[in-house]
Amino acid sequence: MRVIIAAAGTGGHINPGLAIANKIKEKEKNSEIMFIGTSRGIENDLVPRAGYELKTIEAYGISRKISFETLKNNLKTIKGFSQAKKIIKEFKPDVVIGTGGYICGGTISAAHKLGIPTVIHESNAYPGKATKLLEKKLTKILLGFSDSEKYFKDKSKVITTGTPTKVKEQNISLADKQKILKNFELSINMPTVLVFGGSQGAKAINDAMIDLIKEKRNKEYQIIWAAGQKQYEVIKEELNKYGININNIKNAKILPYIYNMSEIMNMVDIVVARSGAMTITEISLVGKPAIFIPLPSRSANRQIDNANVLAKLGAAKIILNDEVNGDNLNQKIIEMIKDPNELKQMGMRAKKIAKYDVEEKIYEEIKKIVR
C-alpha cells in the first residue's frame, strides 16, 4: 500500500498520523508511507524521528480579514495546493489521509482533484472547519467521538473509530516507577502530577505553574511538567528572576517535551492539561483523573466540548483559561489528592469512553477503500 498522510502543527495532529502509519507498516511491511507537513511545525522533529519521510508545503488558515499578512498567507496556501498536487503525482499513493492542521485542506483537495481516495480523521467532539468544508471531497470520515456524527450531512461516509494514539494502558511495576522517578530526582512516596500543554506548550498553564512553583505550593505533591519546546527557555529565564534554577526545583522536574508519554501518563496520579481530543483519548485509555484548562476559541469551544465529555462523567475538573492561576490550580490538586478513593473512581469513570483497537479499525476502513 502506498500512503500519504497530511498532518501538521501540533502533536495532536501528528501523533494520530504516526499511529496510523505504524499500524499500516505492521500489517503490510512493504508499504510506502510519506508525510506532508509544513516547515514550521513539530512534524519536522516527530516524523523523521519515527523513521518516515516528510515533504513540506505552504499551508495557512484561510482568513477573511483584510491585511497584507493574511493576503500573503492566503496566496501561499493556494501555492501549497499546487505543491501538494506535484508531490501526490510523483508518489502515486493509493490513498491520502488527513489527521489535522491547515495542511489537510490543500492536500486532500489535490488528491480529490487527481481522483485518489481520501480519508480524514476528525478527533474533536466538535469538528474543525476544514473537515466540514472538505466533506464532499472525502471518501471516508473517521471520528474520534460519536458526538461528532450529527455535524455531517452524508452519514454513509462517517464511522466512529476513536482516536489513534501512541499512549496505551501499561502495567508499570513499582520497580520501574521508582527508576523513572529517580531519574527525575523525584520520590516514590509522593503523589505525582503530570502537567503539559501540548507539544507547543500552553501559556496560561505555564504562567500558573510558574506562580505555583515560585510560591513553593507543591509541598504535598510532586510535578512532572512538559513546558513545551518553544516555551522552555522563556520559563527558565522567568524562574531565574526569582533565583530558581530550572534543573534544581524541589518536588518538580521541568522538561521541554516528554517522548515517553505513555509510560509517564500510566505512572502519575493526576493529569493537568489542555483538553485537546488526543489528550481526552489518552486519559480515557490509561484511566486517570484530570484537571482540564481548555484552550479558548473565538469560532467554536472545541476544547470545552472535549473536556465536558469527561467532566460530565465525573472523571475530570475544569478550570477556565481566563481563570487559572497558581493558587486555584494548587487548591484543586490538593483537594483531589486528599481523597485517594475518589481519585481511583475518577480514573475508572474516564475509562468508560475509552475505545480500543482503534488503529485496527482505521486500518480496516483504509483497506476497504484501497482494495
Cα atoms in the Cβ-side hemisphere of radius 13 Å centred on 96 = 30
Does some domain include residue 168? no
**Residue 140 shares a structural domain with residue 215:** no
pTM above 0.75, yes or no: yes
**Residue 132 within any structural domain of the chain:** yes
Q: What percent of the chain has pLDDT over 70?
A: 93
Q: Calculate the average pLDDT of the chain.
A: 91
CATH of the domain at 90: 3.40.50.2000
- The pLDDT score that the predictor gives to residue 42 is 87
Is 357 strand, coil or helix? coil
pLDDT at 347 exceeding the cut of 60: yes
- State the Cα–Cα distance between residues 160 and 352, nearest whole angstrom: 16
Helix (H) or strand (E) holding 204: helix 203-214
Residue 282 belongs to some domain of the structure: yes
Q: For 285-296, how does the pLDDT look when each residue is reduced to its tens digit (9 = 90+)?
A: 999 999 999 998
Q: What is the pLDDT of residues 144-181, one digit of tens each?
A: 988 788 989 999 999 999 998 888 899 999 999 999 99
Residues 239 and 344 in one domain: yes
- 275 CB contacts (<8 Å, ≥6 apart)? 292, 293, 294, 295, 303, 304, 306, 307, 318
Backbone angles phi, psi at 90, to 5 degrees: -75, -40
Pair type for strands 192-196 and 95-100: unpaired
Q: Is the domain of 121 the same as that of 231?
A: no
Are 120 and 30 found together in one domain?
yes
CA distance 52 to 29: 13
Could you report the per-residue pLDDT of 63-120, keeping only the tens digit for each?
556 666 666 665 666 677 999 999 999 999 999 999 977 889 999 999 999 999 999 9
Looking at the fold, whether 14 and 89 belong to one and the same domain comes out as: yes
Going by pLDDT thresholds of 50, 70 and 90, the confidence category of residue 197 is confident
Element (H, E) at 180: helix 174-183
Please tell me which residue, 5 or 100, carries the higher pLDDT value. Answer: 5
The closest alpha carbon to 100, from 76, 70, 130, belongs to 130
> Is residue 215 one of the residues assigned to a domain?
yes
For residue 229, give the C-alpha cell. Answer: 519546546
Q: What is the domain range of residue 71?
A: 2-163+356-370
Residue 169 within any structural domain of the chain: no
Residue 288 sits in the same domain as residue 316: yes
336 and 187 fall within a common domain = yes
Domain presence at residue 143: yes
Q: Residues 56, 180: one domain? A: no
Residues 85 and 152 in one domain: yes
Query: Does the residue 246 lie in any domain?
Result: yes
- Domain co-membership, 322 together with 196: yes
Sheet holding 158-160, edge to edge: 53-56, 32-37, 2-7, 95-100, 118-122, 140-143, 158-160
Cα distance between residue 188 and residue 298, in whole Å: 42
The reply to whether 18 and 56 lie within a common domain is yes
Question: 162, 281 in Cβ contact below 8 A?
Answer: yes
Which neighbouring-strand residues pair with 194? 224, 271
pLDDT at 336: 97
Instruction: Indicate the pLDDT class of residue 209, thresholds 50, 70 and 90.
Output: very high
User: Is residue 79 domain-shared with residue 181, that is, in the same domain?
Assistant: no
Helix (H) or strand (E) holding 192: strand 192-196
Q: Structural domain tally of the chain?
A: 2
More confident residue, 193 or 300: 193
Give the pLDDT confidence score for residue 294 in this predicted structure.
94
